[in-house]
Amino acid sequence: MVSDMERRLLPVKLDSYQPLREVVCETLREAIISGVLRPGERLMEIQLAEELGVSRTPVREAIRKLELEGFVIMIPRRGTYVADLSIKDINEVFEVRSALDSLANGLAAERITEEELEQMERLLVQISACVDNGNMEKIVELDGQFHDILYRASRNDRLVGIINNLREQLTRFRTISMAYPGRLKKTIEEHTQLVEAIAARDVDLAQQLAVEHMANSEQTLLQDINERRQQQNKDR
């Protein structure tokens, strides 16, 4: 039996119109993206099946699909693990996002409305409140809303569409990066500076802050991965 302390995944809804394997696959994919299941973590079919309230068959089928999608890796005689984040993937995604965010921030500084500025300011207050009670899941959700408002304020639908294509990777990166000690406080400070620059209609400063924010997020993510790998090597 999985105790309440160990349980992290909620039982899936069996009344869904989708095949059970698809429901399980979506649940596990979301758990990986949101950081509930962390990179390098071993996935045990029996435990996952018990937590999700299903048999091992749909779990096994879901894991095979997730392997094809690159979310998990299956190592012969060792088991199945949540796929680690590759340095190449991180570098490429942050290169693209740095350029896109710089453009989005510059356009937002020219085109944002007062209502949107107020929404971003309220979100910063809500994020700070969540920091006090340690609700990381809510923090990541609110941070995503903060950036969504910023992207919409660019008034460029094609730009927003391109950024949304990176949503899954960005959510996974954001979850890991913001959970790193000290990064969350720094993120709030960077976001506050960004809102101030956009409110002042300072295009150049808004673009500069966006690039610096991306660089700091990437550095934190890489540091987290490096420390985790060092710990894994010690444990072997």
Residue 134: pLDDT band (50, 70, 90) is confident
Domain residue spans of the chain: 20-82, 87-235
User: Distance between CA 129 and CA 42 in Å, rounded?
Assistant: 33
How does pLDDT run across 184-214, given as a tens digit for each residue? 999 999 999 999 999 999 999 999 999 999 9
How does pLDDT run across 135-145, given as a tens digit for each residue? 887 898 899 99
Question: Which run of H or E residues covers position 42?
Answer: strand 42-43
Letter string b/e over residues 142-152, b meaning 16 or more CB atoms within 10 A of that residue's CB: bbeebbbbbbb
3-state helix, strand, coil in the chain (%, to 5): 70, 5, 25
Residue 3: pLDDT band (50, 70, 90) is very low
Name the pTM for this structure.
0.78
CA distances from 143 to 14, 150, 185 (A): 31, 11, 13
Residue whose C-alpha is closest to residue 18's, from 72, 48, 61: 61
With 80 as the cut, is the pLDDT of residue 16 above it?
Answer: no
Q: Where are the alpha helices (DSSP H) in 153-202?
A: 157-164, 167-178, 183-199
| CATH node for 87-235 | 1.20.120.530
- pLDDT number for residue 218: 95
The correct CATH number of 20-82 out of 2.60.120.10, 3.40.30.10, 3.20.19.10, 1.10.10.10 is 1.10.10.10
| Cβ contact 193:209 at 8 Å | yes
- pLDDT number for residue 7: 61
Average pLDDT, the chain: 90
